[in-house]
Amino acid sequence: MTSPYPDLILGFMRLSDYPDLASPTALADWIEARLDQGLDTFDHADIYGDTRCESAFGEALRARPALRQRLRVITKTDIVHARDGVVKHYRAEGGYVASAIDASLQRLAMEQIDTFLIHRPDPLMDSASVARALEDAVRAGKVARIGVSNFLPEQWRWLQANTELPLVCNQSELSLRANAALSDGTLEAHLRDNLHWLAWSPLGGGALQEGALAETLKRLQEDTGLSATALAVAWLRMIPGQPTPVLGSMKPGRIEEALAGLNAELKRTDWFALLEAARGQEVP
C-alpha cells in the first residue's frame, strides 16, 4: 500500500496554545517555514477552536496567497459541541456534511480540500446520504479524496459499501501509549482494506516520560542519540503500512525531533522493548 501522504502531517488542533502565532503574518511565516522543510500537509477539523483554527489558517493564506499552491489540507466534520442546553452529538447527515464542506472551504480560503473526513462514527449515520454528499463534493472539485476518523473496521466498511469512491485513510489514535490496535486485528484491517493510518497523538499525549517507558526511552536515547520524540516516531513508522504521525505540537524544535525519527530505524528488539515498557508486560 502506497501512502498518499507525506511522512509527517502537522495538526492545528492546538493552535490556540501558541499566542505567538496569533497574527496572520506570524502564522503565514510558520506555514512557509514548514513548507520549506518539505512538510506540505496540515490537519484541521471544523471543531478545532470552534472553527477558529480553520479561520486563522485562512487568514494566513489571505495574507500570503502564494502559499496556497504549495500546501494540502485535511479537515473533518460531524461532531457538534454541547451549547445552549443542547447535548454534544454527531451529525453524519448528507446535508450537514455538504454544508460543512462549503463552510470549511470558505474559512480555509482554499478552493479544494485534499482529504475530507467524517470525524467520528455516528450511530445514526445515514451512510447513503453521507456518501452522496462526499461524491458530489469530489465531483465538483471541492474535495480530492475522502476518508474517516476514529472508525472501527465495520464502521468504515459500512460507509465504504455505500460509495464507489475509495476511503483512503482512517485518522485514529496510535502511539506507544495507545497500542491495543496492534494486537486486536485493527491494524490488519487497515492493511487489508487499503486505508492508510493517520496516527493522531503519536507522542502519547505527552505521557511518554512516565514509568517503565520513560526508563526504556532514556536507555535508548543514550544508545542512539535520538530524543524521546524521535524514538516514538521511529517506533510508529516501523509498524506495517508505516502509519503517518499527525503531530500536535507546533514547536519548530519538536517538529525537527519528529523529522529525525522518520529517518531512524530501531532494532527489532528495541521496538519490542518499548512495547513491553509501554504495556508493563512481556508480549505473550
| Residues assigned a catalytic role | 48
Closest CA to 113 of 76, 148, 164, 78: 76
Question: Residue for cell digits 449515520?
Answer: 125
Q: With contact defined as beta carbons under 8 Å apart, do 72 and 40 qualify?
A: yes
SS3 59: helix
* Angle, alpha carbons 68-71-77 (nearest 5°): 95
Q: With contact defined as beta carbons under 8 Å apart, do 240 and 210 qualify?
A: no
E-strand spans in the chain? 9-11, 41-43, 72-77, 79-80, 89-90, 113-118, 143-149, 167-173, 196-200, 244-247
Q: With contact defined as beta carbons under 8 Å apart, do 104 and 48 qualify?
A: no
Per-residue CA distances from 129 to 96, 136, 159, 162, 189 (Å): 10, 10, 10, 9, 25
Beta bridge partners of 10: 42, 247
Decide: residue 229, CB within 10 A, 0-12 exposed, 13-18 middle, 19+ buried.
buried
Q: With contact defined as beta carbons under 8 Å apart, do 63 and 28 qualify?
A: yes
